[in-house]
Structure 1
Amino acid sequence: MVAIRPVVELRVHGVGGASPDALLGTTAHRQVWGDRIAGFYAADSEVRGRRVEAYCWGGMTSRSSARVLWLLLFPFMLANVAGWTCSARVRRDRWMFAVHRACGRLAALAVTLNLLLIAAMAAMDVWAYQFCDQQRPDSSTGLKWVLNLPAGLEPGPRVVLGAALVLANLLVIALLADRTRSRYEDVTPVGAPVREPVRGSAAALPDGVGDPRFYDGQCTVWRLARLHLSAGVAWLALLLAWIGRDDRLDFWLVGLAGAVLVAATVLIACEAAGDRLTLPLTGAAALLLVVVAVWVWTADVIKEKTSHLQHMREAVLATFALIGVLVVARVLVMPLIVLLRRLGFRRGVADGPPVDRKWRAAPFMVAVLSVLSINAVGLGSLIAIGKSLGPVVWELEHSGDELAMFPFLPAVVPWLTLAPLAVVAVFLLAELLRCALAGRDRNTGPVVAEYTGRADADPPPEPPWDVWRRSALPNPGMSAYRREQASRWIRSIARARKTATFAADIRYLTAGTVLVALPLPALYVLGVKELPDIAENLAVGLAVMIPSAGVLLLRWGWRRPGARRWLGVLWDVGTFWPRAFHPFAPPCYAERAVPDLQRRIRWLRDNGNQVVLVGHSQGSVLAATALAQQPDTDTVLITFGSPLTSLYGWGFPAYINGDLCGRIKGEWINFSYRTDYIGGPVGCGGVDIPLPDPATSWYIAGEPLPPMRRHTGYWSDDAMWAHIDETVAKRLVDGPTPITPGPVHSPV
């Protein structure tokens, strides 16, 4: 007996999440697998003649209120993404690729140390040492009274309490990373019944995204989290020992803490070495911190308040210098390797196709951007904390009741707030100007010619609609009003097509922001600090507003699911990559989403079904990755609005390239509009099918002119779905009788 294999259309939504109702087009559905975070939903009745299921994964990035707190981890996310922005040329060179990965992890460590430094300036210097030295009257109530409780202690114990707050900040982030690791990275990859530790990280796998072990980041996150924790605790012990140093014993403590910090830094740079040292190193750093804290508490080595915490300025400058070295290490080492290649020292880049080198500085720029973001928010929070505790003076030496804050802050803050704001304004004005100029005649001419040819090829409408049908194209017989209306329609299409190519311009915004921030160290060293009072006050006020705006944004997202979906768009793009460079970044949802898709496809096929995998936008990236890791000649892949090439292939060319396309063995069709500002063609041979947008220039008199679908209109495009129906019909071949399925249930 032979039977036609039933077809199951498995839909995967894009960024921002989508409800099962919207994705399936019906409220009559049931959950067949998964949980409330991410699950598969099946429609009760067939759609377009086939069973339809939807994979809704938005709960991993936007559904829960707690996801909005990931905004606090935004700099860590940038630091992690920076490591993945590797060029294809660098990836082909074994030395340069290894150095790239090491420098990416060191730059990520710089962000962690930067956070701890700002926390130490606020908790140890401003609060514990200065504010708690001021005796509050008994009538003082509220938060200030609570914060002033340690006022009766000596300076040493107060400073240790401030260090405890810094440590608590680090531990909370580390515990959050460990908790998310158990929810995401602990998902066992498909085809791995016995989980073996992956030596190295996903970034070093030879097959990149197509490797089945790519989304197996459990060991990497565990290792990096322990090393960042060790480095952070060692740095805090070093800071305590440094500010309390007085005799030979103190320098021994400084040396030991520095040695632990150096060891942790070296192990972070080494991708697959010293795994057995991570836990002992963490224990040594913790023990050393306890010893130093007890010594500072009991030895009375901290002097009474005169201005800032003693030796704090040297510690701040030294830490900022270390952060700078870790971030610019790439710029120092990469040219040396290039020079060795030019001198003929060993083989360089392997043979391969030409590579796009338009944004070679992406890893450095994104890493610098992560440091700038944490300093803009962190230093703004520092100023806000100081001003909330009392009057502030920008002086190094001060003996009054006011809180002394470092004078470099008013000089640095403008370059972290006003300068980037000016770059953003210039960038937006330039993009608006380009968009306006896109409506000129030389751009509208091809649009008119294209739709004129398409209108001539359209079949004539049946009566009486031929009387009411009109063309949106301008022609000599039109009235002046209709001619202007038609011209605006043509110009809007030309502008939309031009705007769709602007996504790559983000590199200019990033470059401008980085360039205006690079003079910061030089300005401080050269002593160029004087600014007009109005500029200084505006910059400080803006710096204080940044954390306040962040709090309002958190509150807004916490209460409103719609707001969380908008914030979830940021995580959908930024957390696609495993945490191979910074363990405290928001978790990678693809660690679970890709295995989920692979298991569901395998289960459907094992039960006698043929699968048509349909992915929109970010869902197309998940779908393509799932099939690339598990080569399958039977599953049909349908993508539309796909950013595989337009976004991922441009920003991450070492991992999303032609090799990924070659690993997808089954039939693949990709639809795209020229007006799509996110998706586009994927560039694989015979895969792309361009669709007109708008679909036609004809419209019914009295109704609006044909609208553009751009990125979100694929789901309602009848021409696209007719093509998909035709493709599915061709795949309905005779085969063995499938297993008669009972009620659809979760596979064990």
Structure 2
Amino acid sequence: MAGDQPRRHDVVELRVHGVSGADPTVILDQPQVRQVAGDGSGGFHRATRSDGDGPDGLTLEAYRWGDLPSGTVGRTLAMVFLLPFMLSNVAVWMRPTGRRRAVAVSVLCRLLALNLTMLYVVSIAGVALDLLAWRCLGAARCRPPFDTMAGLDDRHVGLRLAVLALLPIAAIGLLRLLGTRRSGPADNPLWAVEPLVHRLRAIHVAAALAVLDVVLLTARRAGGATFSTTLLLALSAAVLLTCVGLLAAPGMIDRAATARTATWTARTAGAVSAVLSVATLVTVAGDRRAWSSAVGLPGYGGIAAWALFGQMVLLVVLSVVVLWQRGRVGGRSALPGGLGAAVLAALAVGLTGALSAGLVYQTGELLGGYRGDGGPPSPYRWTLLAFFLHVVAAVLLCGALTVVSRRRRLRAAAAITARDFPVVPPEAVGRLRLTTKTIARARFTEWLGLLAAAYAALAVVGLATSLVGRTGREPEELTRQLLGLPAGAVQMGLSGGSYLLAALLLALVTGGVFAYRTAWFRRYVGILWDLGTFWPRAAHPFAPPSYADRAVPELADRISQLAERHVGVLLCGHSHGSALLALAVLRLPSRVRQRVALLTYGSPLDRLYARLFPAYLNEEVLRQVGERVEWRWLNLWRDTDPVGGWVFAAHRPGDPAPDPADPADQVDRRLRDPAHLLPAPGERSAPPLRGHHPGEADPEFREAVRELTERLRGAG
């Protein structure tokens, strides 16, 4: 090509969308596209027509990964019910940077994850063993057909318990089956965690079976202990202690030096627990001695109480660890290091406790198994009450923080718009007011640290109710004696917690279905799944698998292929897509990195990720990304964006001038939003507020593309 004419097709502009997905036709702004690599879940697309090149003489290509986290309706619904496991798994990746605190947070998160699995089994055992086998087929006589259960009503208690114990065993098997899923082919995965997942899976299955054995054997021993029941109970307790010990020993299941020992121990514990379960079922089914005459399954309430109490103790200890010292991320003030771990762990614990209590409570009410005997086990009643109090406190906290911060946010937003628009015509006052409110709402993200710290402190509510529940007192009795409240007030709290839980479940199920079937709905609800399944399973083996194990290596491979055939590859990542590209850049070989430039926009790399995941996406890592691409990196951000922001420096009006000696200071470019308050000449409407909108066709975006393209051509 002659002179300064643009050389077409020498640079590829590879666009990667953010969370909740996007159609390739929208990403490329082309009516028809074709897939050039990948498969139906995730692939690379180009315009069908040859004249569908970019406006700057570039070859446009889009990577669509939005279906990797979701897939089928069944998988989406499974993710809904495994939400607590997913949250507990993400929490371990939010550990702080300090080695000691990071190790402590990892251990506590993994113990909490194990507790969630155990409570899952205990709650299902409450339905199968306490409600159906003991109450419905005993004196309570539930509604038909649950009062006969295929002829089990005239069988002795041991046989009923042994047969219905197959239900929680089947539930454990279902978790085991879900835990074997993978996100797709990954010959060179981003995180080599599969061996760790295998060890965690064996530990959780062993503990789940051991807890079920303890429930059965404790009930049997209430009517008289024998040598076999005592031995089996001791061995089951030993399996539980082994599982806890493997997770509690720092680095035991992580370090290469102890990996073989940990794997062998975990597998042995799993095999022993399976044998013990068979022996327990045979022992209980064949034991025709008289059983206790208790209203509920003997010992079950105590086991449920200890499981609920244990998770609250772990949660409070975790919150204390992460709130004890305030960390600093990448040299700038940030959230308390690892605070996200405590917040997500609190959500996982609260949701698991509420779901467990709701399952036992609502099933009993539905079947009529609690008529005339005082209701479900006391620990579940206290848990439902704690859930109601926790939700009310969280709503009041969010409302209070919103009101308290509003004046400061509006004042900061007004200062920004005053600098951007020093002269405002009278007809633009309303537009200026709307812009100021939008910026103020976007700045609420900066208050999330305080909100998260306060929410983590609400773990005390759950601990207090668990401690009171350990006394064996009923909620109505204690509140009447201490607070003088009538029993109806407590019943209102229990009913409120039950209704809130039912509404939450309905919302989750509806969201799971519509997030798969309806694109506009998934744009909002699917964000949770996309972010939650980004991180691999390092705490809970039954959480959904990570799609990043496929997406990031797939991106790196495609970038390498394009770099071999073109002068350069311009990587354009919006929102979460910028995180995928940043990790892909870190995997590129040096010969490829020389032909790569990076353009991020609406990026949460620093504003959210560096603060939520300080051990993995901090300033040091982000500087490594810049160095890998020889600082051919531009980041576009807007004050109206509640998600994205600057990576290294804000460059707001009035800020210090960029340091020319620091290449990181040249990365960020602030975009005034809106560009103008009034319509441009010849236009009917003013420029819209862009916020978190990608804006690949915006003039500022195209200008950044041209600048990076010239840098690539100059490097080539």
1:448 to 418, 423, 428: 418
2:210 to 234, 238, 253: 234
Following the alignment from structure 1 to structure 2, what is the Cα–Cα distance between the partners of residues 331 and 640?
34
The Cα of 1:59 is off from its aligned counterpart by: 0.7
Which residue in the other structure is 2:543 paired with? 585
Which residue in the other structure is 2:304 paired with? 316
Q: How does 1:457-536 map to 2 (within 5 A)?
A: 474-475=424-425, 478=426, 482=427, 485-486=430-431, 488-489=433-434, 491-508=436-453, 510-525=455-470, 527=473, 528-530=478-480, 532-536=486-490
> Within the alignment, does 1:696 sit opposite 2:696 as a pair?
no
Which residue in the other structure is 1:381 paired with? 359
Which residue in the other structure is 2:236 paired with? 257
The Cα of 1:582 is off from its aligned counterpart by: 1.0
Following the alignment from structure 1 to structure 2, what is the Cα–Cα distance between the partners of residues 404 and 350?
49
Change over 3 Å in CA distance of 1:11–1:422 after alignment to 2: same
Cα offsets for 1:485-537 (capped at 9, x unmatched): 25534533552453353444541452254243231223224654545444323
Which residue in the other structure is 1:460 paired with? none
2:21 to 17, 22, 25: 17
Structure 1 range deviating more: 165-174 or 147-156: 147-156
> Within the alignment, does 1:569 sit opposite 2:527 as a pair?
yes
8 A contact 1:380–1:545 mirrored in 2: no
Cα offsets for 1:379-438 (capped at 9, x unmatched): 112111011001635xxxxxx5x5842234434322212332332233134315533664
Which residue in the other structure is 2:509 paired with? 554
Letter of the structure 2 residue corresponding to residue 382 of structure 1: V
Letter of the structure 2 residue corresponding to residue 59 of structure 1: D
Which residue in the other structure is 2:654 paired with? none
The Cα of 1:291 is off from its aligned counterpart by: 0.1
8 A contact 1:386–1:403 mirrored in 2: no
The Cα of 1:288 is off from its aligned counterpart by: 0.6
1:722 alignment partner, SS class:
helix
Matched positions, count: 658
Following the alignment from structure 2 to structure 1, what is the Cα–Cα distance between the partners of residues 400 and 322?
35
Change over 3 Å in CA distance of 1:486–1:304 after alignment to 2: closer
Query: What is the TM-score normalised by the length of structure 2?
Result: 0.84
Which residue in the other structure is 2:54 paired with? 47
Letter of the structure 2 residue corresponding to residue 541 of structure 1: S
Letter of the structure 1 residue corresponding to residue 595 of structure 2: D
Q: How does 1:34-183 map to 2 (within 5 A)?
A: 34-44=38-48, 45-48=52-55, 49-66=57-74, 67-88=76-97, 90=98, 93=99, 95-133=100-138, 144=146, 147=149, 149-178=151-180, 180-181=181-182, 183=183
> Within the alignment, does 1:727 sit opposite 2:695 as a pair?
no
Cα offsets for 1:94-149 (capped at 9, x unmatched): x4433332222112111111211212222210122101225979xx86x6478565
2:233 alignment partner, SS class:
helix
Following the alignment from structure 2 to structure 1, what is the Cα–Cα distance between the partners of residues 316 and 498?
28
8 A contact 2:435–2:689 mirrored in 1: no
Unaligned residue ranges in structure 1 (runs of 5+): 191-213, 339-348, 394-399, 453-472, 736-748
Letter of the structure 2 residue corresponding to residue 428 of structure 1: G
2:348 to 348, 361, 370: 370
2:253 to 257, 260, 271: 271
- Moved segments of 4+, more than 6 Å: 1-5, 331-336, 349-352
Cα offsets for 1:627-685 (capped at 9, x unmatched): 12335232111111111111111111111112212322112111111111011111143
Letter of the structure 1 residue corresponding to residue 678 of structure 2: W
Cα offsets for 1:424-460 (capped at 9, x unmatched): 23313431553366445x75244223223xxxxxxxx
1:698 alignment partner, SS class:
coil
Which residue in the other structure is 2:656 paired with? none
Letter of the structure 1 residue corresponding to residue 187 of structure 2: T
Change over 3 Å in CA distance of 1:335–1:255 after alignment to 2: farther
Which residue in the other structure is 2:288 paired with? 300
Following the alignment from structure 1 to structure 2, what is the Cα–Cα distance between the partners of residues 225 and 552?
29
Structure 1 range deviating more: 248-257 or 405-414: 405-414
Query: What is the TM-score normalised by the length of structure 1?
Result: 0.81
Which residue in the other structure is 1:412 paired with? 383
Cα offsets for 1:712-732 (capped at 9, x unmatched): 143342222222123213422
Which residue in the other structure is 1:675 paired with? 640
The Cα of 1:224 is off from its aligned counterpart by: 0.8
Letter of the structure 2 residue corresponding to residue 271 of structure 1: I
Change over 3 Å in CA distance of 1:731–1:150 after alignment to 2: same
The Cα of 1:177 is off from its aligned counterpart by: 1.3
Following the alignment from structure 2 to structure 1, what is the Cα–Cα distance between the partners of residues 300 and 352?
20
8 A contact 2:641–2:692 mirrored in 1: yes
Following the alignment from structure 1 to structure 2, what is the Cα–Cα distance between the partners of residues 71 and 350?
34
Change over 3 Å in CA distance of 1:98–1:59 after alignment to 2: same
Structure 1 range deviating more: 699-708 or 152-161: 699-708
2:602 to 641, 648, 658: 641
Change over 3 Å in CA distance of 1:428–1:228 after alignment to 2: same
Following the alignment from structure 1 to structure 2, what is the Cα–Cα distance between the partners of residues 174 and 613?
39
1:712 alignment partner, SS class:
coil
Following the alignment from structure 1 to structure 2, what is the Cα–Cα distance between the partners of residues 235 and 487?
62
2:570 to 612, 630, 648: 612
Letter of the structure 2 residue corresponding to residue 581 of structure 1: A
Structure 1 range deviating more: 112-121 or 420-429: 420-429
Letter of the structure 1 residue corresponding to residue 674 of structure 2: P
2:396 to 402, 421, 425: 425
Letter of the structure 1 residue corresponding to residue 93 of structure 2: W
Following the alignment from structure 1 to structure 2, what is the Cα–Cα distance between the partners of residues 725 and 350?
36
Following the alignment from structure 2 to structure 1, what is the Cα–Cα distance between the partners of residues 431 and 317?
56
8 A contact 1:129–1:305 mirrored in 2: no
8 A contact 1:65–1:564 mirrored in 2: no
8 A contact 1:75–1:370 mirrored in 2: yes
Change over 3 Å in CA distance of 1:335–1:260 after alignment to 2: farther
8 A contact 1:308–1:404 mirrored in 2: no
1:732 alignment partner, SS class:
helix
8 A contact 2:220–2:291 mirrored in 1: no
Structure 1 range deviating more: 554-563 or 569-578: 554-563
The Cα of 1:163 is off from its aligned counterpart by: 2.1
8 A contact 2:329–2:610 mirrored in 1: no
8 A contact 1:377–1:546 mirrored in 2: no
Letter of the structure 2 residue corresponding to residue 36 of structure 1: G
Structure 1 range deviating more: 214-223 or 662-671: 214-223
8 A contact 1:109–1:582 mirrored in 2: yes
Which residue in the other structure is 1:466 paired with? none
Unaligned residue ranges in structure 2 (runs of 5+): 649-663
> Within the alignment, does 1:710 sit opposite 2:691 as a pair?
yes
The percent of aligned pairs where both chains have the same amino acid is: 27
2:336 to 354, 358, 363: 358
Cα offsets for 1:193-228 (capped at 9, x unmatched): xxxxxxxxxxxxxxxxxxxxx522221212111111
The Cα of 1:41 is off from its aligned counterpart by: 1.0
> Within the alignment, does 1:687 sit opposite 2:658 as a pair?
no
Cα offsets for 1:560-617 (capped at 9, x unmatched): 3333443321011222211111111121111111011011111112234521111100
Following the alignment from structure 1 to structure 2, what is the Cα–Cα distance between the partners of residues 564 and 334?
33
Following the alignment from structure 2 to structure 1, what is the Cα–Cα distance between the partners of residues 204 and 321?
23
Q: Which has the higher contact order (CA 8 A, sep 6+)?
A: 1
Which residue in the other structure is 2:200 paired with? 224
Letter of the structure 2 residue corresponding to residue 603 of structure 1: Q
